[in-house]
A and B are shown apart, each in its own frame.
Chain A
């Protein structure tokens, strides 16, 4: 069961720059480097966490109080 890949086109000049940049690094290919950069960029677009409903939050707080975590 191999990992699935797809193709993205980038300007040739940019590819060449990336090819130079990965020389002597831990990246085995331009594709690995591009995947790394893309993951880094996408991580920055992550939103904030969901907010619990007031009822749920109150229930949790009751347990936290009972255990002595909050007053």
Chain B
């Protein structure tokens, strides 16, 4: 089994007496209220999705991640995982003490062992992570709206926050046992925030041809307006897997995490997370985790050159399309036919058809998948 990132799978989930004591203690501790995304970050740290992180980044690691794309321990890490609070809140928290982190329902989710409080530069953070400080970029907008002080220190999870997707939620420990139970020595991870079209199926099956198993891992969490709703993504994939995949070779679990749209840096982050889940390979497509035209189409491929020590093998896919002459999904390396014979997998075109209640051509989307999407009425985030 592939080694977790940084060498050790982190597990900071309280159980039994320790959990009961923490619950009691949390009631009398100063607290910080978390939103849905921050609650997910806490769980991802505690369950090892973000191994080797044991808590929110301290200042040294934060600056190293911005400048070097590595933790101060030299382990590759490209996205700062931080907890921001306003100055008055930071003022009443004492370094060396415990802080109760409350989920959006107000229940204690975790204990933070506060080690540091520090200020940061929003513009510099945005430019380093996203390559732009343009407030129209959704990731930049979120950074610019962050509060003034970052809290750091290891944390312990008291309780996972229930979500409508818990049936699909697996920890890295669980996926690792699952892959072993299935006898998979090599596993390719597929990150998605979309419903599947035939092009996705082609990419996944092409990759699966060379490994033992396929791990479809949709991201559930904050996305931008117009993205597919989480429940739509899951329902459409369930339909696709049921009809068109070998069950012994395919599995799906969700990743509760916001999309940051950080393009190349986020591609590395996605790879690290899948490595922690036990994947040996990850599919990286065109403009992976991109938004608008902020990143060159293959920047998310090129960035992997800077990380010879990542430990997970990227499988790069460039363009793919349906060819009327080949009668198959192909790419520019295997299809000699001109553009006039190509049908591109345009997400916008597929969306427009679905909005109008029309089935996209079967060359683009499986009819069962289209039906699963249309059954939702409005399948898109408002």
Chain A positions near chain B (C-beta within 8 angstroms): 1, 3-4, 26, 36-37, 39-40, 42-43, 46-52, 56-57, 60-61, 63-64, 67, 69-70
Contact = CB atoms under 8 A, between A and B. Distances in A.
A51 to B, nearest CB: 8
B110 to A, nearest CB: 21
A47 B8 CA distance: 11
Contacts of A48: 1, 3
Interface of B: 1-4, 7-9, 59-60, 63-64, 67-68, 72, 74, 167, 170, 173-174, 176-178, 181-182, 251, 278, 305-311
A52 B309 contact: no
B43 to A, nearest CB: 16
Contacts of B181: 61, 64, 70
A67 B8 CA distance: 26
Contacts of B174: 60, 63-64
Given A49-B2, A49-B4, A42 B173 contact: no
A26 to B, nearest CB: 7
Contacts of A51: 1
Contacts of A36: 306, 308
Contact of B177 (A39, A42, A61): A61
A43 B309 contact: yes
Contacts of A3: 64, 67-68, 72
B284 to A, nearest CB: 18
Contact of A60 (B2, B64, B177): B177
Nearest to B1: A49
B178 A49 contact: no
A35 to B, nearest CB: 9
Nearest to A4: B72
A5 to B, nearest CB: 11
A46 B308 CA distance: 13
A68 to B, nearest CB: 9
- Among all A-B residue pairs, the 5 with the closest Cβ atoms: A40-B308, A43-B309, A39-B309, A49-B1, A60-B177
A57 B310 CA distance: 27
Nearest to A65: B181
Nearest to A36: B308
A1 B63 contact: yes
Contacts of B9: 49-50
Contacts of B278: 49
